[in-house]
Structure 1
Amino acid sequence: MITPRFECSQTAESVVIKIYCPSVRAADVEIHVDDTLLTIHINPYFLRLNFSHPLLEDDESSAQYDPSSGYMTVTLTKETKGQEFADLDLLAKLLAPRPSKEAPSIEVIGEQYEDEADELVARTNALSLEQEEILIAAENDWQLPQQVPTSDPPITTSITQSYGFLNRYSGYFKHVTHTENEINELGPDPEACLVQERRSRRWKHEDEKWDEEHYMADYADDEYIQELISWVNPRIVSDGPFAFTEEENLTLLNLPRREYLSDAHQTKNLYITLATILFAYAYEARTTQGDSTPESAWTLCSLTPAFSALDPAPYTTTSNWESELAACLYQSYRRSLAFPLFRSFSLAEACRVDVAELFSRGKRAITRCLLEIKRILDHHEVYYVYSKIWVEDFCVWVQASASDDVLKEIGEALRGLRIEKAAIGWDLEVLEAATRDAEDRESDSDDESEEEVEVARQL
């Protein structure tokens, strides 16, 4: 079956779905409405949409087909008139499967309750630990329960290790030695590399690529870097009404249909890993001023630990958001100072502000950036693999599962974070001071030379 192009809109009383299905027999259309789920089948097209609120197929509903344009317009009545259906422009969210409603149930046999109050107390006491944590979560808890990660790695008997989005993938790097994958930092055995070993190899590779002279040269001669810092990304500052382009909607339609079941700790790590991906996007956008180059795929992958070393969050054992966000930015800062052409702490700071703004603008702005990353990687003959194991899933997850409230709170936290140069680990402040001293000595030497020339002229 083919998923057709479609778009959704709404009025106070109904939801309107326009479907592009040329050269079909409108008499063969089958439309079924089940609460929030709508299925439309007209050979060879099949469309299943899951809305946020219930719909009705009543006398006011209709389906009209225009053979001249190839569009079928389906109008369905809202069960509650005037109710606002959110996110009708997020196609991946509409196409996602209906969320699972499986929940553990407990049946107590041989115990009666004298009144409703006793029953309510008993049910409250029967709450699982996770449910209780959610109920007592503090107001500033980012709407996610805190969880202290264990220090001991999970025991596994498998030689092949999983990786990628929620560790769903394996087998993509079996023949990595036969491809020109220049950003792979795990050597010939990424499929068998343990999580701890991935991070260790990544840190070692960053230290090996760190070049003091390169950093000092960019610090001393930063005229062009200042131009990059002052550049404004139009995708970040646009104040007009947001609407995905036709090309973006086509890409969204072709994304996989997946439902992601993640616990609170995994969800937090997805948000943090997303920050590192958007940092790489912000750096690439600034250094190319929005006009991607053949090197853009390399830049995006090199600056993202989850790509180059299959090393996503968490990057610290602490359990508060600010520390975890700071730890993820340390990884991004280090990579931006070790690998690409322009290596500037001030440029990294500008990228942090860009990431904060993207999070504050919510899932639509982030989805647009992810689609741009996907476009760049999909056109590369080697690095397209990172689109498959990371970016496509993030495109779907951000639309269907990410919370705009959490995204905005992360944006505020990133905006207020202060990354210390000393924490990077490469004596940046010492190198900058040495560069300034060398410039001062050179300036003094030039002044003395000019004075000597003037005296010689007078003689």
Structure 2
Amino acid sequence: MLTPRFKLSQDENHVFITIHAPYTNIGDTEIDVDGENFLFVSSPYFLRLRLPGKIVENDKSKGSYVCDSGDFNLTFDKDSPGEHFENLEMITSLLAPRDIPDINPSLVELLEEDGITIEDREVDDDSKKYAFGFANKITTEFVNIGSEFPQIFELRVPEQVALDERHVLRIQHEDDKFSSDHYLADLYDDELLAPYLTAVPFWEASDFNKNAEFTDDEVAILKELPNKHYLLNKTEYRQVLFGLVDILYGYCYDKRTTLNESTVESSWTINKLSSTFSWFCVFKDIKHVLIACFRRALIYPIFRNFELCKKVRNDVVSLLKKGKKFLIKCVLEIHQMFNSSSDARYILNQLYIKDYLVFLQKCRNEEFDELYNNIINIDVTKKDLDLELEELEAAAELVQKEETDVLENEMAVRMASMTLLPGVRRSNGPYLEESDDESNTSSSDSSSNSSDESSDLDSDDDPS
């Protein structure tokens, strides 16, 4: 059976359900409402929803089918008039749970009110020492994944490298890749970087609508995701949120450096700038995340500039402020980029993105408010990056000063050797010395072309 595309909306007293089910047999269609539960069956389509509030099927209920579009348009009364149903646009969260196992078997697939349970108790689990994927729930699947996808993962054997060791290896690898020449070239090329430093992300445009409806393509992805309940301890929960910041940083860098027009290279950029994707890393705090993002943005992409890094950090903040619906749309765009990548980045959707799409639908907006407030209060300095940027810049400025001094000296020498006016001879020094009577002859005598006087002129002083 196929899950049809669907959309829900509401007013004060009604819930409106639109189901896209073309080429179905209307005579065989079955619709059932039981409180929060809604069932639609019309071969080959099957849809079972759990709504955030109760609806009733009564004489006022309405239904129609539009043949041209293949849409069922249904209207039901709310059991409690005036009640506001939260998260009606969160497609995956409305789907009743499926029995189909996913790649993260330890995630409990239950449907509850919020979908996320955070345990107070921290449990030391040796089996997770070498884990990876969303919330580090993958421990046995995808053996040798790093070796199979070397174009995606810089860490080749995550199943053999403990979580706390990955950052050490990552930093060593990044240090080897850092190019001081490239960094300094971008530092002093104001004309090259100007368009990207002054760019405005599309979500800051005056006509941007953060509550825009999900497109048909976006709904098609969301409706196929399994509706899960996430059982996480506090550490895992924070790591998931920090990983989201790490991923969004690469997304924001791409949007700024392509002037909001993502290219075929965008999936590479997001993949490469994310330590989560490239190294299966997890983070202990927000500053840890930002330092890793800044470092990678100064090492791998084509534009490597510290001020640009700070601009992208601000873009992440402004993106988080737009709320979870827009966040989901951004992650959906990343999902589509990875699926269309020629380098098999669909594997990142399996490991991380699909779970993030489900997880985000279950989060409260307050979580994102706290997240961007934490980012705002973090100041990342050049010294924090451990790339010796300040020393490089000081050395470059010294070299520039020396080159400037040399040029100024050369110019002074040239100016000193030039004759300002034709027929006027420079003296050999700032003062005139009296020599003999011939040096004080009249102007008529000094204008003579005697061979003795001509022999005193240097070739550079010859006005002819």
TM-score, normalised with respect to structure 2: 0.79
Corresponding residue for 1:383? Answer: 345
User: 1:176, CA displacement in angstroms?
Assistant: 4.4
Corresponding residue for 1:211? Answer: 179
User: What is the SS of the residue equivalent to 1:74?
Assistant: strand
User: 1:4, CA displacement in angstroms?
Assistant: 0.7
Counterpart CA distance in 2 for 1:445 and 1:94 is 72
**Is the 1:96–1:259 Cα contact (8 Å) retained in structure 2?**
no
Counterpart CA distance in 1 for 2:126 and 2:221 is 39
**Is the 1:66–1:72 Cα contact (8 Å) retained in structure 2?**
yes
Listed one character per residue, the Cα deviations across residues 27-51 of structure 1 (whole Å, up to 9, x for unaligned) are: 3222233332322111111112232
Equivalent residue pairs, number: 402
**Is the 1:4–1:19 Cα contact (8 Å) retained in structure 2?**
yes
User: 1:239, CA displacement in angstroms?
Assistant: 4.6
Tell me, yes or no, if structure 1 residue 330 matches structure 2 residue 301.
no
1:303–1:66 CA distance, 2 compared to 1 (3 A): same
The within-5 A match list for 1:168-187 is 168-169=137-138, 170-172=140-142, 174=144, 176-179=146-149, 181-187=150-156
**Is the 1:162–1:191 Cα contact (8 Å) retained in structure 2?**
yes
User: What is the SS of the residue equivalent to 2:384?
Assistant: helix
Counterpart CA distance in 2 for 1:177 and 1:442 is 48
Tell me, yes or no, if structure 1 residue 91 matches structure 2 residue 91.
yes
Aligned counterpart for 2:279 among listed residues 309, 328, 342? 309
Counterpart CA distance in 1 for 2:411 and 2:181 is 29
Counterpart CA distance in 2 for 1:337 and 1:96 is 45
Tell me, yes or no, if structure 1 residue 409 matches structure 2 residue 421.
no
Counterpart CA distance in 1 for 2:122 and 2:226 is 30
Aligned-CA RMSD value: 2.7
Tell me, yes or no, if structure 1 residue 167 matches structure 2 residue 140.
no
Corresponding residue for 1:47? Answer: 47
Worse overlay, 168-177 or 194-203: 168-177
User: What is the SS of the residue equivalent to 1:54?
Assistant: strand
1:211–1:184 CA distance, 2 compared to 1 (3 A): same
1:53–1:272 CA distance, 2 compared to 1 (3 A): same
User: What is the SS of the residue equivalent to 2:319?
Assistant: helix
User: What is the SS of the residue equivalent to 1:262?
Assistant: strand
User: 1:329, CA displacement in angstroms?
Assistant: 0.7
**Is the 1:8–1:15 Cα contact (8 Å) retained in structure 2?**
yes
Corresponding residue for 1:27? Answer: 27
User: 1:270, CA displacement in angstroms?
Assistant: 1.2
In structure 2, give the amino acid aligned to 1:99. L
Aligned counterpart for 1:155 among listed residues 126, 134, 142? 126
Corresponding residue for 2:356? Answer: 394
Counterpart CA distance in 2 for 1:23 and 1:149 is 52
Corresponding residue for 1:110? Answer: none
Counterpart CA distance in 2 for 1:6 and 1:238 is 30
Tell me, yes or no, if structure 1 residue 61 matches structure 2 residue 61.
yes
Corresponding residue for 1:418? Answer: 379
User: What is the SS of the residue equivalent to 1:338?
Assistant: coil
In structure 2, give the amino acid aligned to 1:410. L
Corresponding residue for 2:188? Answer: 220
Aligned counterpart for 2:162 among listed residues 191, 194, 198? 194
Worse overlay, 364-373 or 446-455: 446-455
Counterpart CA distance in 2 for 1:162 and 1:351 is 30
**Is the 1:360–1:412 Cα contact (8 Å) retained in structure 2?**
no
User: 1:149, CA displacement in angstroms?
Assistant: 6.8
Q: Which runs of 5+ in 2 are unaligned?
A: 98-109, 420-460
Listed one character per residue, the Cα deviations across residues 397-420 of structure 1 (whole Å, up to 9, x for unaligned) are: 112x22211202221221232112
1:297–1:101 CA distance, 2 compared to 1 (3 A): closer
**Is the 1:337–1:344 Cα contact (8 Å) retained in structure 2?**
yes
1:219–1:96 CA distance, 2 compared to 1 (3 A): farther
Corresponding residue for 1:320? Answer: none
Corresponding residue for 1:125? Answer: none
Counterpart CA distance in 1 for 2:219 and 2:291 is 34
Corresponding residue for 1:264? Answer: 234
User: 1:251, CA displacement in angstroms?
Assistant: 2.8
1:278–1:406 CA distance, 2 compared to 1 (3 A): same
Counterpart CA distance in 2 for 1:173 and 1:438 is 51
User: 1:292, CA displacement in angstroms?
Assistant: 2.4
Counterpart CA distance in 1 for 2:34 and 2:401 is 75
Listed one character per residue, the Cα deviations across residues 299-331 of structure 1 (whole Å, up to 9, x for unaligned) are: 2111111111111233xxxxxxxxx11121111
User: 1:345, CA displacement in angstroms?
Assistant: 1.2
Counterpart CA distance in 1 for 2:368 and 2:26 is 43
